[in-house]
Amino acid sequence: MNYLRIHNATHALPTTKSELYIYAFIVFSVALWCRMRWQYRQFYRLADKIKGPPSYPLKGSIFDLSTTPEKIMYNFKESAEKYNYEPVKLWVGPFLFVGVYKPEDVQIVLNSSKALEKGIIYHIIRHAVGEGVFTAPMGKWKKHRRVIASIFSSKFLDQLYPIFNENNKKLVENISKHVGETQPFDIWDYIISCNLNNVSQAAMGYNLNDQRTLSEFVLAMKKVSELSKCIVKPWLYIDQIFAVYTYLTGLNVYMSQLNRVSLQIIRDKKLEFKSTKSQQSTNKSHEVAPEESNKNSTKVFLDKLLKLNDEGADFTDEDLKDEVITMTVAGSDTSAISECFCILLLAIHQDIQDKVYDEIYSVLGDSDREVIPEDIFRFKYLEMVLKESLRLFPPGAIFSRKINENVKLTNFELPKGSNVFVSPYVTHRCPQLYPDPDTFNPENFSPENETNRHKFSFLAFSGGPRGCLGRRISNDYINRIVIAFIFGVKYAMISMKLMMVAVLRRYSVHTECKMSEIKMQIDLLAKKADGYPITIRPRKRTQDRTFI
């Protein structure tokens, strides 16, 4: 009997190297799991208190090998609806995220000085657009924000009207070849080209039609934006693995090209700035009036940055490069997506398009004159339409913050180190905020409805200190650390209004696309998956301003 016991016990032990490796792996995995449970115990305690979909080892709540950014966005929406828009826990692989949707909780997070750091997903996005004010770590953001915000005065924006008007005129001419066609065409390529010209001239002083270098810049930027798809692949957050991935996919070539071209543009501009400064010094010694020497000079974003740098702002070439790329992305893709959606929605809703055209006619009549700064605030209904389009299809559908100290929400306290995400796409479709939320209804942004709604119910331009909203926050501390970053709202609204006026005063737009058919795709931003198909017809004006 004793012999049998010894014999059986001997056979219970591993007898081969492969068995030893398996046992070692199991022991290591258990030890690693126990260590993670202890190290991140505050997050597991938080997860026990918050509702959310079930989680599985490694996979998490919403992650698997086939996960896409689009699938995650729709999962966010489904989980928010299921849990009545309360905070929701979602595991992406081993990373815990807390989804915050109600305006009251969103305001707490976005206004908190304890939540100024961008979330973990921006580790990937920084590879695409660098560390400009949109993605920069908190320390760098604090250093740069005042300098960047000081550039965007009304005077600076007003000088951009001729640029916008000229490029919009070319846009209208370029799409004229489609007049009368019954086959739809995709308006995207025309709109994005126009916006890229706008922002390249406003940011760098270059016209894309004249500069091969800028064409390389645009191509590289488009390719690098594909990196945003990596945010659903947690293993790529490890720098060494990410480097191998970009090498194997060829994205490292475009990343290098984007950096090279951007730095070359900056070097050229610095030489131009030195030359201009030298000329101004010469003019001053010869008593030439400054306004005479600068009479037709448009001071673009990079000019302003270089001037501020010369006065002690202390931006490196890398800093300048990151800010220029950030402005290019913010001022081109964001506006282009919003304009394309707006045109498509007006093509679907002819009655609303009629009202927009009537407003344009009331301001400009039958004239072909260009829109001037004094006109822009008269397009009130058009602004309502643009905001409603942004509500339904915000280009920045998801963004995140990392909590540096404990933050108390309405019902929960988020521990230090938490990753919080906010989804404008989800908040904008909350029925408690917007009745019949999937319907296109510009009256959602009538003055009365906007006044009666929580100010963080509309997040198309983010919000709080790190948002693009050109408004002051009531908290005194926040007021001291933030100069209102007016660029997001003012630049975007001016450029969008001018383009919409240019197109709609000349053409009526039509489509066979239905609201229910619109599917989203997320690269760096959220856009329509299969383009924006429309047809156009020339406007025929009559005395009663009706459509023919």
Annotated binding site for heme: 468
**C-alpha distances out from residue 202 to 265, 300, 403, Å:** 14, 5, 35
Residue 121 makes CB contacts below 8 A (sequence gap 6+) with 231, 400, 421
For residues 225 and 525, give the distance between their C-alpha atoms in angstroms, rounded to a whole number: 9
For residues 276 and 377, give the distance between their C-alpha atoms in angstroms, rounded to a whole number: 35
SS3 category, 249: helix
Look-up: residue for tokens 């500069």? 211
SS3 category, 112: coil
Phi, psi of 479 (to 5 degrees): -60, -35
For residues 382 and 500, give the distance between their C-alpha atoms in angstroms, rounded to a whole number: 8
b/e sequence 33-62, b meaning 16+ C-beta within 10 Å:
eeeeeeebeebeebbeebebbebeeeebbb
Annotated binding-site residues read 468
Q: How many CB atoms lie within 10 A of CB 15?
A: 10
What is 192-208 written as a DSSP string?
Answer: HHHHHHHHHHHHTS--T
Q: Where are the alpha helices (DSSP H) in 130-231?
A: 138-151, 154-158, 161-175, 188-203, 212-224
